[in-house]
Amino acid sequence: MTDTLRIASIQANPTVGDIPGNLARARTLLAEVEAAGADIALFPELFLIGYPPEDLVLKPAAVADCAAALEELAADTAGLQVTAIIGAPWRTDDGLFNAVFVLAGGRIEAVRLKHALPNYAVFDEKRVFTPGPLPAPVTIKGVPVGIPVCEDIWTAPVCDALKAAGAELLLVPNGSPFRRTAHAERLATARARVAQTGLPLVYLNQVGGQDELCFDGASFALSASGELVQTLPHCREAVSVSVWQRGAGGVWACVEAERHAQDAGLAADYAAMVLSLRDYVNKNRFPGVILGLSGGIDSALSAAVAADALGPERVRCVMLPSRYTSQDSLDDAAACARALGVPYETIAIEPAVEAFAAMLAPAFAGRAPDTTEENIQSRTRAVVLMALSNKFGPMVLTTGNKSEMAVGYATLYGDMCGGYNVLKDLWKMEVYALSAWRNEHVPAGGLGPAGEVIPARIISKAPSAELRADQTDQDSLPPYPALDDMLAAFVDAEEEIEDVIARGHDPETVQRIQNLLYLAEYKRRQAPPGVKIGPRNFGRDRRYPITNRYRDRL
């Protein structure tokens, strides 16, 4: 039995479904921490298949490939001093489990099964996994160690059982996605388990973008008294070895560990957007992105995030002016492109719009122009961007914000056309705040330039789709501060209509906005994915029926 443990927290970025790639990455990391003298190498939840695997684990071949990869990795531990703790799906006669494996001495020493399966918000593990029994500790280097998996620490029973069975340390592999309140909630939950058991706890989280989720890392360790003794970076891969010693009464204390600053507030939001877009583009093997740069704030912030995620040379921006595009917009888009250092060009859509008008004139005879003609402009722009995407390979990045998507102020097969949207979970006022923040900061690991990359006039001018003369968003919508407040109450908090009105809003306006929110569900179902930032995003979090006559009434 040892009185000292060197625990390597491996905050790594797997790719869902890339079992050979994840195995190769695990091998490299295992060799790295062996060279650093680690006793234990702790990997994130389900690392070999990536998290969340969703229905991929229902494919027998995928689970069998993970089992084969585990055997290979276990064989690699022959002759190593380090013991690996790594996650993978595991099928037995009793079901399919979210499992963690202890690998040492060339073999699988132990298997532990996740007991508490989350089935709320973005999680649906009960759909694919069977809950395991309350786990027992695993003995590593003579020390009984508890390995609760992610959700297992969010209630008391698993840690209670591990403490009662003699565990002296808790090592927690996680796949916990980012949202603004996540880090504080994780820390509070971990401290509750430490207070409950009197055991120190090492919390290790995955990092990386996966479709609409960002895993932000931000791993940490707590002493037996709940003191924060180790912190790993936010939204970046990291390997950090903490040194623990058994003291009086058998209580383990951390005597050496790294403390990294972790992003918070707008910096954390922006970092999550950058990481998610970078991984979506790179893991899906796109050469870069292309977007319409309109001279408005949404496309400007989208371009800035893309430049920071991929580098300016991989971001192609196109101005697509119509007869209604103002000179200010032309100038502002060009200035933004210059500031970001991105490739930029202009392709006028007027010839195509006129062709559509001529083609449809007989069918539209006797009808006044309306939103139909506005939508034709938006869809023409989509055709141009998709043509460039098809010809040259970059993914089209859409630029709509959550406020617009909430009330349906977006055109199907027009400005909604594309492969990903980094603003999907940002209310309009959050777009303004992040744009101002980016002009003052370069995110850690960002590849874009410093300085004012979003011209001040883009931030200060009234927003407009410029699909008709003298148009502004506030012609038909409340001011964005009021609109965002109403929408956040309806969407994020599921407040009753009386409560929303009590926030100081006009009753008739509140009822109209609620109606627009429900009517636009069919559009949101067809929207591209985008990273979750706030408490409740459209898509994975909020699943309303499309056909829905319910309205909350006064």
- DSSP-based three-state secondary structure for 92: strand
Q: Which of 45, 168, 374, 430 is catalytic?
A: 45
Count CB atoms within 10 A of the CB of residue 107: 12
Q: Return the closest-CA partner of residue 429 out of 497, 479, 474.
A: 479
Structure tokens at 109: 């020493």
Q: Alpha helices, DSSP H only, in 230-326? A: 265-283, 297-310
Residues 204 and 257 sit within 8 Å (Cβ to Cβ): no
Q: Based on the residue annotation, tell me whether 114 is a catalytic residue of this protein.
A: yes
Structure tokens at 149: 């998996």
Q: Which residues of 162-183 are buried (b: 16+ CB within 10 A; e: fewer)?
A: bbeeebbbbbbbbbbbbbbebb
Q: Return the closest-CA partner of residue 484 out of 554, 402, 421, 398.
A: 402
Q: Going edge to edge, which strands form the sheet with 220-222?
A: 138-140, 143-146, 169-174, 201-205, 220-222, 228-231
Q: Based on the residue annotation, tell me whether 391 is a catalytic residue of this protein.
A: no
Structure tokens at 475: 């012609």
Q: Which of 34, 66, 109, 114 is catalytic?
A: 114
Residue linked to tokens 């300016």: 312
Q: Return the closest-CA partner of residue 425 out of 216, 212, 239, 253.
A: 212
Count CB atoms within 10 A of the CB of residue 189: 17
Give the gyration radius of the chain's Cα atoms. 26
Q: Based on the residue annotation, tell me whether 59 is a catalytic residue of this protein.
A: no
Q: Which of 150, 254, 317, 417 is catalytic?
A: 150
* Rama region for 79: left / alpha / beta (φ>0; ψ in -120 to 50; rest): left
H/E stretch holding 356 reads helix 350-364
Instruction: Give the whole-angstrom CA distance, residue 322 versus residue 343.
Output: 21
Q: Could you give the residue numbers annotated as active site?
A: 45, 114, 150
